[in-house]
Amino acid sequence: MVHPASTCCKNTQDGSCACAAQARCSCGKESALHCSCNKASAENTVSGPRCSCRARPAGQCTCERSVTENQPVSGTTCPCGKRPDASCTCEKAAAVDSAAEALEIDFTGRA
């Protein structure tokens, strides 16, 4: 199973994400992030690991890539463990900050 390295599964000619346009609320009627059914409060905001279109949680994709995206991830994963390491969609702010601090050198106290 190969996932794209970007956060979008396939770009259209106008530059938009094809899968994001296809992604639907789990109720099936409205576009993802625009749900109006009883799941709206939970599905109209997404955080953490997401599908490659970033409109649905990882493992709950509803676009044409759902067959591959909703499979368990094997091999090396990104920090959240829900996506392959080449296509992370996790919230990584804390990990990035930690890595940056480890690489910084404090020259202010040097003579």
Q: pTM of the predicted model, to two decimals?
A: 0.63
- Is the per-residue pLDDT at 38 higher than 80? yes
Q: How high is the pLDDT of residue 14?
A: 67
Domain boundaries, position 71: 7-105
Residue 110 covered by a domain: no
Are the C-beta atoms of residues 52 and 46 closer than 8 Å to each other? no
Taking residues 20-42, report their average pLDDT: 87
Number of domains in the chain: 1
Residue 41 covered by a domain: yes
Residue 47 covered by a domain: yes
Q: How high is the pLDDT of residue 91?
A: 65
Run of H or E residues at 101: helix 93-103
Are the C-beta atoms of residues 54 and 43 closer than 8 Å to each other? no
Name residue, tokens 């992030």. Answer: 33
Pick from 3-7, 37-41, 77-81: least confident: 3-7
* Separation between Cα atoms, residue 23 and residue 32, nearest integer Å: 5
User: What does each C-alpha distance from 46 to 31, 50, 87 come to in angstroms?
Assistant: 13, 8, 17
Q: How high is the pLDDT of residue 82?
A: 86
Taking residues 9-28, report their average pLDDT: 73
- Is the per-residue pLDDT at 56 higher than 50? yes
The 10 Å Cβ neighbour count of residue 107 is 6
The mean of the pLDDT values for the chain is 75
Q: Two tokens at 14?
A: 């106008």
Residue 71 covered by a domain: yes
Residue 1 covered by a domain: no
Q: How high is the pLDDT of residue 78?
A: 83
